[in-house]
Structure formats: structure tokens, C-alpha cells
Structure 1
């Protein structure tokens, strides 16, 4: 259309050579005048059509871009809402996981406190073992025997030491696990705080609209110079940085944290259960060893009392025999003394007969009788003296036996006194308790002993 316009002739194009007299009357012909008008009309129509086309095209562009803006706002709002739902989902998952991990950690802390309490409680039977060992080392003589009580005490000590080692190792493992749980809680709380902050920012961003009054918020790094074209300079605070992390990576980070926390909770629950079982096993086995020692101690006391009773019976019989032997010795001495006078008489008679005249002295019957009497009396006295020596020697042996029996009774009485009046009363109650059991004060349940309270007896 512009080409048509440019191809039209103006009024000046029809002016040729004119006569001077013509220039005075007119300048253009009617045909030229009409052609000029037609050209003006035509050009006006063309320009109007062009303007209308431009106006229609601009109106269409305005409408389209207005739709684009509305769609962009709605799309951004929808995406923000969708993002908020994702953030809320992971926020709730994190809250739930934090709550579960905190509860399981508290259970493990309680189990660790029980382990610590149980470990401290093992010192109580160990102290009693040391006292019993100290008392029993005061036994005397042959009573220093490695009896069943001694073996049971050694087994009890080995059991206590073994469980002390196991409890210490498990206590350290619980402490390490609690520290790991605390680090995981810090990590989850940090992620949760980030989610809370992101949710707040997304909510504020979604609430922004075209009707919002006042200046729109601009990132601090863009308030001065704004975003311009060109490549981003590293470390330039005035250029908007596009996050490198994608949505999938963002979700995987929280999912991985939750998965790690779940595995840690599984380990925590296993460790808490193992700690409780370990405490129960410790108190069961130590109590079993304790009761075995008590049984051995009671049996030993009964055995000692029976032996002491039998030794006392032998002592009584020995004393009775010594009394009878004393009477027998007295009888022997009396019998020997009774034969001294007849022997002296017989010797006097034979001495008198030795003074007979030579003619009258002979080996007659009276002389023979006197000699026989003297021989019999001397032989009898010799036999009685030998019997007296034997009786006196036997009496000395009985006296030694009496002393030995009395000493043995003293030793056994000492052993019975040690086991029955010193060791056994210490072991009347098993001094190992998983719980304080005090209802009067709350601090007892967390303390190792009730030393500072009136409720010292635990059940």
C-alpha cells in the first residue's frame, strides 16, 4: 500500500511548461486537482487502515500478555502451594521422627541410668564378699581349709567382676549411642527449622498479590543494582544465585536423615532392651551366686556343728576314760604298795633263817617256800609296775588326745563363730537392687543409694 502511495503523482508532477499568461489565471487543471484529492483520500485510508491494524495488534498483545501475567501469577501461586504441601509433609515427618527419636533416647537414658545404678549396686555384694573373706582368713589351724564356702565365694567374686566389666562396656556403648542420637536430633531440628523458615517464606510469598500496597520486597543482594544481563561473577552479592539443589535432591536429603534416624532408633531400642536384659541377668546371676554361697555357708556351719558335736562326744569319752584310767592307776599303785609288806616280811624271814647254825641250815621246804614267795612277790610287783607304766603312758596319751580334742573344738568353735555370727548375718539380705523403690522422695529413683534419706532400706 505504501508502494502504491509512493507511485502516485503529485500536482507538481503535472506541471509542465506554461505560458506566462496562463500563470496569471491558474496553476493546475481540474484533472490535476481531482487527482490530488483522490490521492489524499487514498493515502488517508491507507494510514487509517495501518493504524487500525497496529491498534488491533497491540490490543491483542496487551490481552495476551495480560493473560500471561495472570497465568504466571496463578501458576506461581499454585507451585508455591504445592511446595508448601511438600514442605509441610516433610516438616510433619521430621516432627514425628524427632518426637520418636527423643522418646527412644529418653528410654535409653533411663536404661543407662539403670546400668549406672546396677554397676554401683555390684559394689555392695563385692564389699560383703571382701568382709567375709577377711573374717574367714581369721580361721585357725586346720580350719584354714579351702572348703565349699571358699569356692562359692570365689565364684561369687568372679561373677560380680564379670558383670561389672559387661555393665561398664554396655554403659559406654549407651553413652556413645546417646551422643549420636543427640547429634541426629540437632541435625533433624536444624532441618525442621529450615523447613519452618521455608514454609514461612513460601507462605508470605504466596500471599503477595497485585493488590499488595507498598514496595514489593526485593532480595537484599539485589536492592542496589538489580539483576542485569551478562555472566554472573563469582562471589558477587548483587547477582541472584539460582539454587543448584533440585527438588528430588532436597527431598532425598530429608528422607536420608529420617532413614538414618530410624536406623538409629532401631539400634537405640535394641540397646535399651539389651541393657534392661543385662541388668536383669546381672541381678539374677549375682543373686544365684549369692544364694549358692549362703547355702554352702549354712551347710558348712551345719557340718562344723556336727563335727564339733562328735569331737565333743570323743572328748567326753576321753575324759571318762582318763578318769577310769586314773582310778586304775591308783588301784595299781595300791596293789603294788600292798605287796611291799609281804615282800619285806618274806625277805626278813629268809634273813632270819640265814642265821641258823651250820648244821641246821638246809635247803628245806620253808626255805624253798620263802624263796618262792619272794620270787612271786617280786614278779608280781614287776608286772604291776609294768602295768602301771603302761597305764601312766596311756594316761599321758589320753591327756594329749584331750588337749587335741579341746583345741580342735576351739578351732571349730572359732570357725562356727566366724561363719555363723559374722559372715551369715551380713548375708541375710541380698544387697542388690535395680530400683531404689523409695516413694517418699523422687531423687532416690535417680540416685545410686539412699544414703541421704531415711528410706535406706530398698525393696
Structure 2
């Protein structure tokens, strides 16, 4: 049996049928002789199939179906061979089964270990992308917060422009209440109109930038949402694979799952899986870089707009200062001229009184001369002579009358001059009142209101 076992393990031959120890003789007769004797006894042929032996007992007919010893021995040895063959095949199958079991056990353990290793590698890949996604999510959250802070600065800066606009328009409305000649389109008004235009453009720019910031914040949050969903899927995937990696043959929750080994047509490939997260990160980085560029643009816009507004404010203030100084100079000049005009009016009034007195003083000499002439007209006869005295008296009357006429003309001129001086005084007083009103509007109304102009830090949105 030891020899047979070693041969079976080779799986290379079929065992031969063992030789029967029977030699074909029974006693002193051969099988052929014994068969012939039995045939004669039973009247059968050598096969023992038909007929009956003459003179044989009746019971001999029932024995005609018996096999011959050779068949009995062959049948026995056939069974021996079948048993030997079956046992040999069974032994071979036992060895093959044991070897196959060892091989399948080793294969199963190796495959399971390889799957566990693949799961660990997969978990490492998931953890890598999860880390990258989490890093990008944190950077996106930080960037979005910074952009929201910039948006708030924009809103604060836009609100801060309302006061300068109100100041500029109030200045224009106040200066519209200047009267007469002082209602002039001067450099201050030009500067105020330019200030209104600059503030209006700044407001439009800040509004457009606010809208752009809103759009970018939505894009940032959309990108962050995609990253978060991808990260959440990675976390679930990691937990599932971790659970799978921790399963073993002794786990209590393992069971058959029919159809679980089929591939789903909707499943992604490792390349498309990695590309999906890569694309999400790339898109998020693109939005984050766009957000950073927008933040830098907002910084530049706020700095430029605040500088433009403050520069124009300083220009308007300088123009106001120059204009107020100019009106003060004009008012002072008018006051000086008014003072001189008033003094001249007083002198002219005195001059008029003087002329009136001088004209009055000419009445007596005129009366004297005319009386003399009248008396001399009463001279008798030839005594009524045109003597030198007569000529001189006539000349005197003419000279006095001429003096009176000249004095009256001068008096009329003086009175006209006095009227002109009075009109000039009234005009100067009116102009002084206009200048005072204009100075009050520019200095006390406009300039005091302009002291409420927002500071630079407020214009850039920090307050």
C-alpha cells in the first residue's frame, strides 16, 4: 500500500488489475473437464444454458442457472479490482482535495490580503484628495471671508459718498441764493460741479464693483459647495473602505450579497474619479485667484476714488478760500470807497451850502449896482451922460450877474455831483451788502458744512 500511495501521488498511471491466484484446476480436473462433466449430468451444452440431463433428478433442473467457478472467481476478482480502483481513485481525490484546499486557502488569503492592501492604498488616495479638498475648502472660506470684508468696505465707501454729494449739492443750492452781480459762475461753482460729477462717477463705479463682488462671492460659495460635497463623499467613501478593510473572516456582519460582484455601468474609473476632484480643485483655485484679483482691484478702486474725492474736495476748499478772500478784498475796497464817498458827500454838501451863500452874497452888490443905475437915470437933461461911471456900473451889473450865473451853474453841478455821490453811496452800500451775503454763504454756510466732509479712512470703507 505504501508503494501504491506513492504512485497515486504522481497522478500519472492507472493501476493494473491484480492477477487471480486461481490456476484453472479443481482437484485433479481442469475447469474444462469439470464443465463437461456437469454438462453431461445436466444434458446441457458447455455453456449450461439449455436442456436437461437424462435420468437426472428433478432438482437438477433448478441448478442449471448456476455459474461456473471460473465465473465466480472472475466476479470476485472483478469486485476486488473495482474496490481497489475505487479506493485508489478516492485516495487520489483525497490527496488532490487536500492539495486543492491548501492552494485555494493560500490563494484566498493572498487575494484577501491583496484586497486589504488595495483598500489601504485606496484609503491613502482618498485621504490625499480629502486633504487637498479640505485645504482648498479652508482657503476658499478664508478668501470668501476676505472678499466679504472687501464688499463691506465697498458698501461703507458707497454710503460715505452720500455726505459729500449732499454737501456739494447743498453748496450749489446755497450759492444759487447769491444776488445780482454776485450770482456769478466762478471757479468755485465750476469746482463744485466737477465735484458732483466725480462723486457721481465714483458711486456708479462702486455700485458696479459691488455687483461684481456679489457675483464673485456666489461663484466662490458655489465652488466651495462643490468642494464640500466632494469632500463629504470622500469622507463617506473613506469610512466605507475603512470598514471594509477592517472586515475579516471572523467578523460577525459578513454575509452573502447576491449580485454584489457585478459592475455598475454608472461607476467611475480611477482616472475619472481623480479627474473629478482635480477639476473641482482647479475650478475652485480659478475662482479663488479671480477673487484675489478682485480684492486687489477693490483696494485700488477705493484708494483711487478716495484720493480723487479728497483731491477735488481740497480743490473746492481752496477755490472757496480764494473766492472768500477775493470777496473780502472787494468788500473792503467797496467800504473804503464808501467811506471816501461819504466824506465827499459831506464836502459836497458843504460846497453847495457855500455856493448858495455866495449866490446870496451877490444879491447886495447887484442891488447896489442896479440902484445906482436907476438913480442915475433921473439925472436932468444933458447930465444924463454915458460917462465912465455909467459904463462901469453897467459892466458891474453884468459882472455880478455873470458871477451869479457861474455860481448857480456850479451849484447845479455840485447838486448833480451830490446826487451822483448819493447814488454811488447807495450802490456801494448795496454791493457791500451783496458781498457780505456772498461771504456769509461761502464762509458760514458752505465752508462750515464742508468741515463735515468724510475722512480718507471712511472714504476707503474702514468706518
In the TM superposition, residue 246 of structure 1 has moved relative to its aligned partner by 0.2
- Report the Cα offset of residue 52 of structure 1: 2.4
Q: CA RMSD for the aligned pairs?
A: 3.2
> 2 CA distance for matches of 1:107 and 1:422?
41
Partner residue, 2:133: 94
What's 1:180 paired with?
A: 219
Does structure 1 conserve the Cα–Cα contact (< 8 Å) formed by 2:359 and 2:404?
A: yes
Look up the match of 1:208.
247
Q: Go from structure 1 to structure 2 and tell me whether the alpha carbon gap of 1:217 and 1:175 turns closer, same or farther (over 3 Å shift).
A: farther
Question: 409, 434, 448: which one pairs with 1:386?
Answer: 409
Question: Would you say the 8 A contact 1:304–1:416 is kept in 2?
Answer: yes
- Offset, 1:215: 4.7
Separation (CA, whole Å) in 1 of partners of 2:364 and 2:71: 214
Contact in 1 for aligned 2:352/2:411 (Cα 8 Å): yes
Partner SS, residue 19 of structure 1 = helix
Q: Tell me by how many angstroms 1:213 deviates.
A: 2.0
Q: Deviations over 1:126-178 (max 9, x none)?
A: 11112212211111110001112111111111111111010000000000111
Give the whole-Å Cα distance in 2 for the aligned partners of 1:65 and 1:3. Answer: 29
| Aligned-pair CA distance for 1:22 | 7.6
SS in 1 for 2:128: helix
Report which stretch shifted further, 34-43 or 105-114.
34-43
Distance in 2 (CA, whole Å) between partners of 1:96 and 1:357 is 147
**Equivalent residue for 1:282, pick from 269, 287, 305:** 305
Instruction: Tell whether the 8 Å contact from 1:84 to 1:203 is kept in structure 2 after alignment.
Output: yes
Match of 2:228 in 1: 189
2:161 pairs, out of 113, 117, 122, with: 122
Is 1:273 the counterpart of 2:319 in the alignment? no
Q: What is aligned with 1:52? A: 91
Find the counterpart in structure 2 of residue 262 from structure 1: 285
Q: Matches of 2:37 and 2:328 in 1, distance apart? A: 172
The runs of 5 or more residues in structure 1 that have no matched partner are 219-225, 230-238, 438-444, 447-457
Determine the structure 2 residue equivalent to 1:19.
38
Higher Rg: 2
Partner of 1:420: 443
Q: What TM-score comes out, normalization by structure 2 length?
A: 0.83
Check the 8 A contact 1:115/1:279 in 2, yes or no.
yes
> 2:349 aligns to what?
326
Deviations 1:313-355 (A, max 9, x none): 1111111122211122222111111111111111111111112
Spell out, residue by residue over 1:283-325, the C-alpha distance to the aligned partner (whole angstroms, 9 max, x if none). Answer: 2211111111111111111111111111111111111122211
Could you tell me how far 1:39 is from its partner in structure 2?
A: 5.9
Which residue of structure 1 lines up, in the alignment, with residue 429 of structure 2?
406
- Correspondence for 2:113 among 57, 68, 74: 74
Q: Look up the match of 2:369.
A: 346
Native 8 Å contact 1:326 1:395 kept in 2: yes
The SS at the match of 1:359 is helix
**Count of paired positions:** 421
1:35, distance to aligned residue in structure 2 (A): 7.1
> Where in structure 2 are there 5+ consecutive unaligned residues?
1-12, 25-30, 43-59, 61-65
Counterpart CA distance in 1 for 2:156 and 2:114 is 62
> Separation in 2 of the partners of 1:432 and 1:262?
37
Distance 2:71 2:401 in 1: 210
CA distance in 1, matches of 2:231, 2:355: 113
Q: Is contact 1:227–1:240 with CA below 8 Å preserved after alignment?
A: no
For residue 210 of structure 1, report the CA deviation from its aligned partner: 0.4
Rounded Cα–Cα distance in structure 1 between residues aligned with 2:180 and 2:291: 56
User: Cα 1:435–1:335, aligned 2, differ >3 Å: closer, same or farther?
Assistant: closer
What is the CA-CA distance between 1:50 and the residue it aligns to?
2.6
